[in-house]
Amino acid sequence: MQATAQKPTSLNYLNIANKNLRQGNLTEAVANYQKAIELNQKSSVTYHNLGEALAKAGELEEAVTAYEKAIALEPNSPWSYFNLGEILYQLDKLEEAVNCFEKAIQLNPDFPSFYTNLGLTLAKQGKLDDAVAAYKKALENDPNNASVYHYLGESFSLKKQWDEATEAFRK
């Protein structure tokens, strides 16, 4: 805190907020991210981290706004799209969530969680064939992920493809 009192820079507040977030002090983290933003409105990292703190605090609509600002400043950040997609999923804004996960995949096609979350969202929409395709893509990048095999098995079960479901559940 002493450094902030002597030299209140955006980076000082960002570092303090990151520490607050790691320690689970969400109220302090949000306040310090907001102070950092007051001094520098062009830091996508600060908005992204603010979104994370707000989401953990259950302030989902505010988290959406923070992630949207992060994306506006850094449109090539797959993580901001991914995290925004997770929040939109929780808010049951499924089509918007799908768009975010697809954009994250476009920016980083090798990260399995992007495909997994896309699959979960598509399955929730009842688009089971597309969900299966997303899960299979996730497994290409992470072939030992038991959770993805479980989701794949659930989708096959809903499609009444019992043999495929059984095979997925066994893995």
79-103 tens-digit pLDDT: 999 999 999 999 999 999 999 999 9
Report the alpha-carbon distance of residue 28 to residue 53 in Å, rounded: 10
Residue 90 lies in a domain: no
* Domain identity same for 15 and 71: yes
Residue 83 lies in a domain: no
Report the alpha-carbon distance of residue 150 to residue 43 in Å, rounded: 39
Mean pLDDT of 62-71: 98
Residue 147 lies in a domain: yes
Q: What angle do CA 26, 69, 66 make, to 5 degrees?
A: 20
Residue 94 lies in a domain: no
For the cut 50, the answer to whether the pLDDT of residue 24 exceeds it is yes
- Among the candidates 75, 93, 109, a domain finishes at 75
* Domain identity same for 105 and 164: yes
Confidence class for position 37, pLDDT limits 50, 70, 90 = very high
Q: Tell me what the pLDDT averaged over the chain comes to.
A: 94
Confidence class for position 163, pLDDT limits 50, 70, 90 = confident
CA-CA-CA-CA dihedral for 138, 111, 107, 115, to nearest 10: 30
Share of the chain above pLDDT 90, in %: 90
* Domain identity same for 111 and 165: yes
Q: Which residue has the higher pLDDT, 171 or 91?
A: 91
CATH for 161: 1.25.40.10
Residue 26 lies in a domain: yes
Residue 84 lies in a domain: no
For the cut 90, the answer to whether the pLDDT of residue 171 exceeds it is no
- pLDDT tens, residue by residue, 44-53: 999 999 999 9
Domain, as residue range, for 45: 9-75
Report the alpha-carbon distance of residue 16 to residue 9 in Å, rounded: 11
* Domain identity same for 112 and 71: no
- Among the candidates 41, 59, 75, a domain finishes at 75
CB-CB neighbours of 59 under 10 Å: 17
Mean pLDDT of 50-77: 98
Burial readout 82-91 (b: 16 or more C-beta within 10 A, e: otherwise): bbbbbbbbee
* Domain identity same for 69 and 109: no
For residue 4, the model assigns a pLDDT of 46
Report the alpha-carbon distance of residue 26 to residue 33 in Å, rounded: 10
Mean pLDDT of 52-75: 98
* Domain identity same for 116 and 70: no
For residue 5, the model assigns a pLDDT of 54
**What domain count does the chain have?**
2
Residue 154 lies in a domain: yes
Report the alpha-carbon distance of residue 171 to residue 160 in Å, rounded: 18
Residue closest to 117 by CA, chosen among 145, 72, 151: 151
Residue 2 lies in a domain: no
